[in-house]
Structure 1
Amino acid sequence: MCGILGYFGSNVQNFTSKVSLDAIAHRGPDFANATQGNTYFLGQTRLSILDLSENGNQPMFSSDNKYVIIFNGEIYNHLELRSEYLPNQNFKSTSDTETLLYGLIHYGIEFISKLNGIFAFSFYNIETKDFIIARDHFGIKPLYYYIGINEICFSSELKAILPFKKELEVDNFALKNYINFLWAPGELTPEKEFKKLHQGCYIKGNSEEMGKGEIVKYYHVPFTGKYLQKTEKQWIDELENKLIESVQRQMLSDVPVGFFLSGGLDSSLLVAIAKKIHPNSTIECFTLKTEEVEKEGFASDFEYAKSIAKHLDVNLNIVEGKIDILKDFDKIVFHLDEPQADPAPIHVLNICKAAREKGIKVLIGGTAGDDVFSGYRRHVAIPIIQKMQLIPLFLRKVIKKVASLFNRKSSFGRRINKLFYNIDQPINDTMLGYFDWIDNETLENLFIDKNTKDKHLYFKEIIKSIPNEKSNLNKMLFWELNTFLVSHNLNYTDKLSMATGVEVRVPYLDVELVNFSTNIPPEFKLKGKEAKYLLKKVAERYLPHDVIYRPKTGFGGPVREWILNDMDAIINDYLSKETITKRGIFNYEKVQQLIADNKKGTKDVSYPIWSLLAIESWMRQFVDKNN
């Protein structure tokens, strides 16, 4: 696990005069180095996990010095790849970087499809000047890039390459997305010309002929609309085996490995499987002690985490979850690189910091269990809204109107309003509405220059790639994997863990496991009102019933309470008339109306207000500094 920074083009000196590896030093505190030539610069900061010797250092050159690679991530199946595809290669290290290097030398770009892991890398042929810049199947590792005239630069973090452009230009459509979703899907970042490389994609080109480069999609989540027919027990047995294989693969490490243990189903099952694989090993787990999620309508996880740790006989490290939001707010936005609106990154930072202090460089967590096997409330809503589609439109409009009258200061009122928010629309639009945090009219009125571009455009475009998938649940899971998961959860998990020099691994995103999951009939993922049905059946073999079948919990903080009561000082500063007028992006009166409606309870928009604060924080830390 590391940080990478690179450039291909005609003006290397200009690039190196503006950017520095120091910007991503936190990602790789163990070693840093770079190499450059007339048309390239490749730099890396290393967090040593496999082959701790200098033989694993990067940039890594081939034995004939014709090829060089910089790599961030882990290839979990690299030993198998060595055995099957590179049996005669004389390796000098046991690192997965060297496996990747020689795999690309011998098999070219096609070798990427054989990888099972998390990665962002760049591979360069020094003689032919051909390069590859690639990101893993699910976007677990971040990769940002900027394409200029006859040049491209890229990095693990946006902050490292922003200084390359003299004047930053804010993308208002991206800001619209950050306010509506609390994150921006697809390639969008707050700056118009800096992009995120889509998951499952690579860029190929030549550093002396930059006009011939192209972006290629090498992996799609294979939702085909076809499901295998097996008994429930067969599905349970096969899923259990896939999970065991995934956990076993992802425990590959030359340094100590620990686990997140929230007390919820996803993380608890992974710890239980690890205990089965290594029954005599001491397993270090980390949990958060906080009562604040209860204020957002969720139950606390802490007591369940203690119960599971005792049940599995693992060592539980307790991390205090108290947040000083005024102190931490700007720091979190800085690490995120984007104005995401969620307090969960603070918890990731604190847990990973505690793990690192205990000498643990790798943590395994339950991220993506909900996205692969259906665990969110919006998934449980799908059977309800499918039935609602049979009701005449005028009655659905009445239901929507009645639902909007519920008090949004209560969690029950918010959920009723959300459930029927788009019930008068076609079912795809109803489902898309569950990703929204603000109605479209209010959102567009916040901007001085109205942007009527459809905020759901990316969702509607990518769904075209699975035309044969008829299950609404699987359509929603496809959206989860390609939007919310990668642009929100995976981004904050990577950025805040790497801020402390800790790598987080996510077994639910094992390539074989995800591909397997798309063959499962939807009724085994959501059975009646029981979300993650099949996963829970596997868990019954490992965990107590009350842990498996308890209400879903949150991993955040009391955002509504903070916005209504605790953050007046930052709101009055970041959203003041002077500040908003200076930016020239938002309508001050409409922003003030939003804040007033939120305080009165006529709108539930604390999270969009948080987004507005995050946008201003991002502007101050990056745009003002750069410009």
Structure 2
Amino acid sequence: MCGIIGAIGFSDIFKNNSALKLISHRGPDSFGSYFQNNVFLGHTRLSIQDLSENGNQPMYSSDERYVIIFNGEIYNHQEIRAEFLNEFEFKSSGDTETVLYGYIKYGVHILKKLNGIFAFAIFDTELNEIIIVRDQFGVKPLYYYIDKEVFLFGSEIKSFLPFNINKEISAQSLFNYLTFLWSPGESTPFKGVKKLLPGTYLKFNISLLIDIKPIHYFQLQNEPLIIKSHNEEEYINKLEQYLLNAVKRQMLSDVPIGFFLSGGLDSSLLVAMARKLNPDMEIICFTVDLGQNSGEIEGFTDDLLYAKKVADYLKVDLKVVKSEIDIISMFDKMIWHLDEPQADAAPLNVLKIASIARDKNIKVLIGGAAGDDLFSGYRRHQALNYEFFFQLVPNFIFRIIKYFANKLPSNLPLFRRVKKLTLNIDLTPLRRQLGYFAWLPENTVTSLFTQEWKKKVEGYDPFNYFYSLQKDLFCDTSELDRMLYWELKTFLVDHNLNYTDKLGMAAGVEARVPYLDLDLVAFSRTLPTSLKMKGKETKYILKKVAERYLPRDVIYRPKTGFGAPVRKWIINDLQEIINERLSHEKLRERGIFDADKVWQLILDNKNGKIDASYSIWALLAIESWFIQFVDEKSFVK
């Protein structure tokens, strides 16, 4: 796990080195660079496999024709290397060299063989050709920027800042951050900076920086292939084996590893399987203590009791991390490391755990991300159970229900959920289901912009990217499988995976996600929908596997989130920052948001008329991002 940066067309080496320093947290163990003919490749290394200098990067082929910078882990690299071990002279035992010679032997076809998390670039100095690749599910971040005769790519947007890039803002991206709290697809706040989509690569001659377009090398199976000969028990047995294989693969490391253990099903099952695979191994886990009554307003239950129970049951060493966060001092640091104005406090818990893990010399943490996205686990998945009822009821009844639901106060979790469920009940099924991803209605988001910026978002539909994904699905794809496809392609990659990687790497810790093992994901797509969610029971088949490993009260506990008291912070702790950064004067100076509309939102939220704390958090995140990435005022040393 490392940080990479590439620049083409820039002759100022000082800028290149400055850019490398901005991502030094991603790889504090060593630094390296390649610079020839206006091509710069920089690397910061977090040593996990082959800790010797032989694993340092940039790495060269034996004839020095090819140069690679690599971020990530390839879990099956030893099997791949065995295919051509006698054909090349290897100098390291790590996966980077396997990818390098794999590309030399197979070309782009090597990409279909890789099972792991990665972002890398390989430069062919003879053909002046470069290939830049992101992993199949977007676990590792990768951004790029093209402007006339210059090109940049890297693990983090902040590394682009020394190059004086065009900082024109994407109004549509800001609309996304206010609608979803994250931005789906390629877009970032900078109009010229794009996310390289998961499962794609760029390949071009460095002298021809025109018409560079991502090429897909991987696509999720478009339609679940139901193997009807399997009965439920056979599916459970197969899923268990795929999970065990995934955990075994991802425990590959030459340094100590640890586990996130929330006490929820996903992380607990992974730890249980690690214990089965390694009966005598010392397993260190980390959990967050959110404090007493921390979830009453937010609507999540305390995980700590369950995490302790799992730790005792599996005989693992549990480190309890107090979630004592000085949100005022940490807010800007979080946004700096996120690279994007995402609106969630969960990243702070990741940073807290990763920092303590690193203090204990643990460089790798394995977590349960993506379990919800593969097997169902969110309330919006359960809401699909109401679709049959919704399609029977006349629209005028919906309008009555919606009217009275809107009158409910928003200071209780149950009322918030009712309002969320009924917000779009009078729309088409597709639009209603898409609406579960939104935190504010589109007309409310539009109203927050000034007249000038309203023109920039006029006619924009924040669900456009979701609609574009429809072409990948067959017309008879179930509503649940369609929503899970959306999860994998949007919420998971653009929200959860981004903050897990960025805030883990802020402390120099690699986060791994066994649920996104390539074989496991492929198998999950063959499962009948009824085994993913049975009635209101989400993750049905995963829970059946877990019954072989964990106590029932851990498996069938109430659903919770990796939370923090956002609503309390917005209404109380962050009030001074809100008054300062979202003041009428500051908003008019920035010129993007209508001060009167923003303050009406703030007051309605404080009075319990609406639930807009996360939306106000998003406004603060956008302003913090502007201060640091546009104004380039540094808060983080």
Which TM bucket (shorter chain)?
over 0.9
Correspondence for 1:272: 272
Q: Distance in 2 between matches of 1:120 and 1:453?
A: 31
Query: CA shift at 1:84, angstroms?
Result: 2.8
- What's the CA shift string for 1:230-282, capped at 9, x where partnerless? 11100100000000000000000000111011110000000000000000111
Q: SS of 2:533's equivalent?
A: coil
Q: Distance in 2 between matches of 1:424 and 1:164?
A: 49
Identify the match of residue 461 of structure 1 among 468, 478, 484. Answer: 468
Change (3 A) 1:225 1:254: closer
- What's the CA shift string for 1:46-95, capped at 9, x where partnerless? 00000000110000000000001000000000001111354533311110
- What's the CA shift string for 1:19-59, capped at 9, x where partnerless? 42100000000000101111411010000000000110000
Q: SS of 1:12's equivalent?
A: coil
Identify the match of residue 331 of structure 1 among 324, 333, 336. Answer: 333
Q: Is the 8 A contact 2:300 2:563 kept in 1?
A: no
Query: CA shift at 1:221, angstroms?
Result: 1.5
Change (3 A) 1:236 1:595: same
Query: CA shift at 1:392, angstroms?
Result: 1.9
Correspondence for 2:167: 168
Q: Distance in 2 between matches of 1:531 and 1:115?
A: 31
Q: Distance in 2 between matches of 1:558 and 1:334?
A: 21
Correspondence for 2:432: 430
Change (3 A) 1:367 1:552: same
Q: Is the 8 A contact 1:225 1:471 kept in 2?
A: no
Query: CA shift at 1:399, angstroms?
Result: 2.2
- What's the CA shift string for 1:92-114, capped at 9, x where partnerless? 11100000000001100111111
Identify the match of residue 308 of structure 1 among 307, 310, 316. Answer: 310
The yes-or-no answer on 1:147 pairing with 2:146 is yes
The yes-or-no answer on 1:613 pairing with 2:620 is yes
Q: Percent identity?
A: 54
Equivalent positions of 1:257-268 (< 5 A) are 257-268=257-268
- 1:349 maps to a residue whose letter is L
Q: SS of 1:173's equivalent?
A: helix
Correspondence for 1:497: 504
The yes-or-no answer on 1:13 pairing with 2:12 is yes
Q: Distance in 2 between matches of 1:12 and 1:111?
A: 32
- What's the CA shift string for 1:127-152, capped at 9, x where partnerless? 00111011000100001110111331
Q: SS of 1:7's equivalent?
A: strand
- What's the CA shift string for 1:272-296, capped at 9, x where partnerless? 0000000011101111111323431
Correspondence for 2:283: 283
Correspondence for 2:300: 298
Q: Is the 8 A contact 2:283 2:317 kept in 1?
A: yes
- 1:13 maps to a residue whose letter is D
- Normalised by the length of structure 1, the TM-score is 0.98
Equivalent positions of 1:72-87 (< 5 A) are 72-87=71-86
The yes-or-no answer on 1:27 pairing with 2:34 is no
Q: Distance in 2 between matches of 1:182 and 1:117?
A: 28
Identify the match of residue 482 of structure 2 among 469, 475, 479. Answer: 475
Correspondence for 2:419: 417
Gaps of 5+ in 1: none
Identify the match of residue 570 of structure 2 among 558, 563, 568. Answer: 563
Q: Is the 8 A contact 1:259 1:271 kept in 2?
A: yes
Q: Distance in 2 between matches of 1:17 and 1:439?
A: 43
Q: SS of 2:12's equivalent?
A: helix
Q: Distance in 2 between matches of 1:19 and 1:132?
A: 24
Correspondence for 1:53: 52
Q: SS of 1:255's equivalent?
A: coil
Q: SS of 1:461's equivalent?
A: helix
Correspondence for 1:181: 180
Query: CA shift at 1:18, angstroms?
Result: 8.2
Q: Distance in 2 between matches of 1:536 and 1:386?
A: 26
Q: Is the 8 A contact 1:163 1:626 kept in 2?
A: no
- What's the CA shift string for 1:587-607, capped at 9, x where partnerless? 111111111111122211110
- What's the CA shift string for 1:290-329, capped at 9, x where partnerless? 1323431111000111110000000111111122111111
Change (3 A) 1:616 1:256: same
- What's the CA shift string for 1:453-492, capped at 9, x where partnerless? 0011111111221234520001100110011110110000
Q: Is the 8 A contact 1:348 1:493 kept in 2?
A: yes
Q: Distance in 1 between matches of 2:414 and 2:253?
A: 45
Identify the match of residue 395 of structure 1 among 387, 394, 397. Answer: 397
Change (3 A) 1:15 1:432: farther
Query: CA shift at 1:210, angstroms?
Result: 2.0
Q: Is the 8 A contact 1:225 1:469 kept in 2?
A: no
Q: Distance in 2 between matches of 1:262 and 1:531?
A: 18
Q: Distance in 2 between matches of 1:555 and 1:12?
A: 45
Q: Is the 8 A contact 2:264 2:303 kept in 1?
A: yes
Q: Distance in 1 between matches of 2:164 and 2:70?
A: 24
Q: Distance in 2 between matches of 1:293 and 1:208?
A: 56
Q: SS of 1:199's equivalent?
A: coil
Q: Which moved more, 1:447-456 or 1:56-65?
A: 447-456
CA RMSD of aligned residues (A): 1.5
Q: Distance in 1 between matches of 2:190 and 2:212?
A: 22
Identify the match of residue 363 of structure 2 among 361, 364, 373. Answer: 361
Change (3 A) 1:288 1:113: same
Q: Distance in 2 between matches of 1:138 and 1:568?
A: 38
Correspondence for 1:234: 234
- 2:594 maps to a residue whose letter is N
Q: Is the 8 A contact 1:31 1:57 kept in 2?
A: yes
- 2:45 maps to a residue whose letter is R
Q: Distance in 1 between matches of 2:147 and 2:171?
A: 21
Q: Is the 8 A contact 1:187 1:195 kept in 2?
A: yes
- What's the CA shift string for 1:387-408, capped at 9, x where partnerless? 3112222222222223222221
Correspondence for 1:530: 537
Correspondence for 1:218: 217
- Normalised by the length of structure 2, the TM-score is 0.96
- 2:584 maps to a residue whose letter is K
Q: Distance in 2 between matches of 1:218 and 1:40?
A: 25
Q: Is the 8 A contact 1:3 1:25 kept in 2?
A: yes
- What's the CA shift string for 1:155-186, capped at 9, x where partnerless? 10110013323551221111111011011111
The yes-or-no answer on 1:484 pairing with 2:491 is yes
Gaps of 5+ in 2: none
Q: Distance in 2 between matches of 1:351 and 1:312?
A: 20
Q: Distance in 2 between matches of 1:564 and 1:69?
A: 49
- 1:218 maps to a residue whose letter is Y
Q: Which moved more, 1:86-95 or 1:247-256?
A: 86-95
Change (3 A) 1:326 1:192: same
Q: Which moved more, 1:63-72 or 1:288-297?
A: 288-297
Q: SS of 1:609's equivalent?
A: helix
Correspondence for 1:345: 347
The yes-or-no answer on 1:584 pairing with 2:583 is no
Correspondence for 1:106: 105
Q: Which moved more, 1:21-30 or 1:599-608?
A: 599-608
Change (3 A) 1:329 1:321: same
Q: Which moved more, 1:588-597 or 1:467-476?
A: 467-476
